[in-house]
């Protein structure tokens, strides 16, 4: 609240003493910097240290720097505001990388913060009189305002709307996706083609109409919040209609609205009729996020160059435990989603006494991915990790399990399963463990990579009398499932998914299907035959 009071005070002083020297566009820009940005930060303050840092330390000097540059035009002051928006961008990007896009409403909020940094850059370009991409100073200032207004606030408002949606249908998904992508598509159109610009504006406008209709249909706790957000939506539908008229005029070389009219219609009305009531409404309603960051246990072990079996011994990771399976007991994974007793004894034996089994595998890369798989194979052969063949011929795999030091790994009872092909080349080095959260036990599998590790968090389920393990999030449930890249300073949720389906073939034989997807598109399938050794 203090930063909002200070921001409004600075804005009023600026208007009182420098009003006659300010352009209308600079006043609109000031409204965002001194009113809307602190409103958003206050709205999304979730008592985390990073937001407290924003509110208590960074905003005030940044706002003063912005005020000085608007009042006196001294370019170097704008750097303070630019660095502030860049820091917000880094935090938004960090959240997006850690969380992934599974929670689209939260990703939309992150993207709003990322766009604000572009607003900071374009303001710097305007004050420094840079000729970016051949744009004149008016276009550069309009671009700065765009990224301080619609590109910043609308993705955040759409994300908050998503928090209110119990069921997120296709219209909502389309709307949020286009609200997030629209500013960049329109920017590309302005730069390269008026036809692309018009088509982008049309898609963006349709997405905003959908967003507005969903907003007016959504139930709210507060009638005042409902009124304010409905008012914002109605105003938005009006202003975006004028944007369509303006874009059509540009593509048809006809002037229906000139730029000065658009400044008042699209600028002033957006500030007072769209952004202000929307933020006020959300401050009253304050929808809670369904997702909460938590520190998922992950292995501390990271590779250094080549992995392979020798890596475990070079760095003294192996302990003296013997006779291990991939897990101690399948019953450890009992949950509302999984009944261990429903799984056959042969599958349980494989997981609990893995050394008694031998495997063969057929790797099938999807056709669209094969060119990438060729280059991937060159790298994996050197690293000796995730070293899958290009050929679809069946490959025999020998395996050995080693106990791994809990002290060095950091997880509970870790053990490494090293698989090699018939030529002695290492295919996988996977370190298995488990962790529990909210009454569910997950398989926690780390694959060391150079200076990092890739960790698959898989939840067991019953399916077709077999065992089904998946990193895919369940519909309507929020768990730890996912594939993560653990770097020294950040954990990133990757756009990858995988599943294993293990079934009985006979009393002594099992089959397993391992499938992987990237951005929801399947790129790999591995079929395993698993036999008990004689």
Distance of alpha carbon 376 from alpha carbon 395, whole angstroms: 18
How many CB atoms are located within 10 Å of the residue 252 CB? 11
Distance of alpha carbon 134 from alpha carbon 335, whole angstroms: 61
Q: Check: CB of residue 466 under 8 Å from CB of residue 347.
A: yes
pLDDT score for 366: 96
Distance of alpha carbon 534 from alpha carbon 522, whole angstroms: 36
- Global pTM reads 0.85
pLDDT score for 511: 96
Q: Check: CB of residue 140 under 8 Å from CB of residue 187.
A: no
Q: Could you say which DSSP state residue 290 is in? A: S
pLDDT score for 403: 95
Distance of alpha carbon 465 from alpha carbon 179, whole angstroms: 44
Distance of alpha carbon 315 from alpha carbon 397, whole angstroms: 25
pLDDT score for 55: 64
The radius of gyration of the chain from alpha carbons, rounded to an integer in Å, stands at: 28
Question: pLDDT tens across 125-164, in order?
Answer: 999 888 887 788 888 988 899 999 989 999 999 999 999 9
Question: pLDDT tens across 425-464, in order?
Answer: 999 999 999 999 988 999 999 999 999 999 999 999 998 8
Q: Which is nearest to 359 in space by CA: 468, 497, 514, 496?
A: 514
Q: Given this structure, which CATH class describes domain 310-532?
A: mainly beta
Please tell me the number of Cα atoms within 13 Å of 288 on its side-chain side.
4
Divide the 534 residues of the chain into consecutive groups of 10 and give the mean pLDDT of each group: 86 85 85 93 69 72 91 86 92 88 89 95 92 84 90 95 85 94 86 84 93 94 96 93 80 75 80 94 90 84 90 92 90 91 93 92 96 93 92 90 95 95 92 93 96 96 91 78 92 94 90 96 96 84
pLDDT score for 294: 78
Q: Check: CB of residue 114 under 8 Å from CB of residue 146.
A: no
Q: Could you say which DSSP state residue 404 is in? A: B
Question: pLDDT tens across 45-61, in order?
Answer: 665 556 566 666 788 89
How distant, in Å, are the alpha carbons of 117, 152, 389 from that of 469?
40, 39, 23
Distance of alpha carbon 149 from alpha carbon 501, whole angstroms: 48
Tell me the domain boundaries of the chain.
Answer: 30-285, 310-532
Name residue, tokens 């294993």. 500
Q: Could you say which DSSP state residue 316 is in? A: T
Distance of alpha carbon 33 from alpha carbon 490, whole angstroms: 30
């Amino acid at each position: 609240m203090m930063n909002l009071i200070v921001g409004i005070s600075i804005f009023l002083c600026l208007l009182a003493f420098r009003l006659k020297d300010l352009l209308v566009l600079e006043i609109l820009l000031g409204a965002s910097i001194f009113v809307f940005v602190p409103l958003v930060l206050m709205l999304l303050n979730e008592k985390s240290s990073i937001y407290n840092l924003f509110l208590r330390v960074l905003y005030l000097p940044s706002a003063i720097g912005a005020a000085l540059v608007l009042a006196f035009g001294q370019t170097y002051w704008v750097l303070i505001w630019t660095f502030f928006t860049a820091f917000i961008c880094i935090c938004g990007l960090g959240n997006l990388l850690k969380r992934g896009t599974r929670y689209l409403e939260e990703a939309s909020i992150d993207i709003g913060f990322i766009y604000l940094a572009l607003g900071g850059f374009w303001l710097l370009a305007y004050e420094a009189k840079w000729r970016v991409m051949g744009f004149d100073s008016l276009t550069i200032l309009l671009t700065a305002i765009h990224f301080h207004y619609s590109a910043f606030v609308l993705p955040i408002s759409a994300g908050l709307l998503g928090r209110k949606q119990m069921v997120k249908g296709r219209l909502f998904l389309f709307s949020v996706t286009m609200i997030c992508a629209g500013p960049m598509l329109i920017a590309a159109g302005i730069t390269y083609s008026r036809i692309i610009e018009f088509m982008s504006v049309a898609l963006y406008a349709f997405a905003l109409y959908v967003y507005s209709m969903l907003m007016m249909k959504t139930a709210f706790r507060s009638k005042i919040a409902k009124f304010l957000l409905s008012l914002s939506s109605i105003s938005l539908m009006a202003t975006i209609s004028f944007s369509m008229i303006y874009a059509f005029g540009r593509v048809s070389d006809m002037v229906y609205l000139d730029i000065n009219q658009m400044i008042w219609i699209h600028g002033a009305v957006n500030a007072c009729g769209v952004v202000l009531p929307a933020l006020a409404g959300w401050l009253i309603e304050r929808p809670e996020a369904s997702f909460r960051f938590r520190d998922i246990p992950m292995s501390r072990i990271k590779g250094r160059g080549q992995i392979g079996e020798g890596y475990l011994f070079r760095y003294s990771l192996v302990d003296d435990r013997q006779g291990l399976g991939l897990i101690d007991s399948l019953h450890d994974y009992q949950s509302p989603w999984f009944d261990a007793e429903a799984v056959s004894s042969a599958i349980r034996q494989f997981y609990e006494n893995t050394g008694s089994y031998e495997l063969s595998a057929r790797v099938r890369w999807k056709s669209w991915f094969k060119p990438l798989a060729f280059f991937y194979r060159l790298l994996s052969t050197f690293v000796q990790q995730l070293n899958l063949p290009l050929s679809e011929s069946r490959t025999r795999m020998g395996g050995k399990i080693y106990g791994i030091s809990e002290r060095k790994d950091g997880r509970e009872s870790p053990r490494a399963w090293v698989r090699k092909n018939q030529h002695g080349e290492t295919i996988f080095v996977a370190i298995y463990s488990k962790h529990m959260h909210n009454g569910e036990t997950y398989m926690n599998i780390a694959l060391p990579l150079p200076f990092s590790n890739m960790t698959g968090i898989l939840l067991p389920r019953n399916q077709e009398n077999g065992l089904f393990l998946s990193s895919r999030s369940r519909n309507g449930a929020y768990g730890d499932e996912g594939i993560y890249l653990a770097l020294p300073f950040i954990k990133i949720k990757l756009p990858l998914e995988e599943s294993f389906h293990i079934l009985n073939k006979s009393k002594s034989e099992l089959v397993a299907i391992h499938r992987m997807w990237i951005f929801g598109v399947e790129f790999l399938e591995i079929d395993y035959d698993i036999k008990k050794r004689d």
